[in-house]
Chain A
Amino acid sequence: MCKLFTKYEKEIEQYCLENSLDFEKAKRMPQCWGKNDIWLQYHDPQKGKNGLKDETPAPIVLIITINNGRVEFEKTEFTEKYLKKAS
């Protein structure tokens, strides 16, 4: 798992709780990270069956950025669809 995700796990869990998002789902999502940010993505194995022959981007579900030690979150058009907590 991305070290940033592990380091800020509590903040991410709290954000999920406050926004009715499923933290357990978030933990299991594919992650893509740079120096100061993490993208949680949704992976559809059916769409990936052509491997590198089809580079259609997998949807970014949540963007987590570390800014001067503060964790900032940005929802995307896919956040509710793939991360909403089942009621």
Chain B
Amino acid sequence: MNINSIEQPIEQRNTGKGNPNAVLTYGAELNNRQKELLTQLAEYDSRVTVSKKSVSMSDLAALTAFTGDEFAMFTKGGKRLIIRGDKISVNIGNDSAECLAAEGYRWSGHTHPGFDYLCMQPSDGDYSILDCFKQEVTVIYNSKGDFRTFEKRS
């Protein structure tokens, strides 16, 4: 291979932009889509509804890596509701979860700040919210973009 055929240095083509692990580990930038989302989720309990295609759980992991805050995502048809929490919680109690479920939302997942596996340990509250949505499973992502699935069995 002719080295001169490389038009851009590797670091320009593979910046890790928007990759949760890169954002967490070496301070890579959020991608433009994630930046736009964060603008709309400026503070605790900010809420925004976006199209399903425009956001994934991996984007929320990147936002968690960047801010250190939890985010939760609920999906209904072609739209997603994203709610910003703080370092230890999201403002969704059982009552509000039941309201969202009655409106037809499903709980797609949420994030827990941190980079190890233990930070993805579901809480009693997580299992109760799963109950509210009468769902079998959902996921928890950490700041690196790793995820675990959990299921409340009866």
Contacts and interface: CB of A to CB of B under 8 A. Distances in A.
**What 5 A-B pairs come out closest when comparing CB atoms?**
A48-B128, A48-B124, A32-B150, A47-B124, A52-B90
A69 interface: no
A48 B97 CA distance: 13
Contacts of A44: 124
A43 interface: yes
Contacts of B93: 50-53
Interface of B: 70, 72, 85, 88-94, 96-97, 110, 112, 117, 120-129, 131-132, 140, 146-154
Interface of B is mostly: mixed
Given A34-B149, A58-B124, 13 more contacts: A28-B153, A31-B150, A31-B151, A48-B125, A48-B128, A49-B94, A49-B128, A51-B96, A51-B128, A53-B89, A53-B125, A57-B121, A60-B121
Interface in A23-57: 27-34, 39, 41, 43-45, 47-57
Interface residues on chain A, size class: 20 to 34
Nearest to A58: B124
A79 B94 CA distance: 28
A29 B125 contact: no
A39 B89 contact: no
Contacts of A57: 121-123
Contacts of B129: 48, 51-52
A2 interface: yes
A55 B151 contact: no
A45 to B, nearest CB: 6
Contacts of A56: 123-125
A86 interface: no
In this complex, the member of B126, B146, B147 whose beta carbon has the largest number of chain A beta carbons within 10 angstroms is: B126
B124 A33 contact: no
B126 A52 contact: yes
Q: Which of A32, A33, A39, A54 has the most CB of B within 10 A?
A: A32
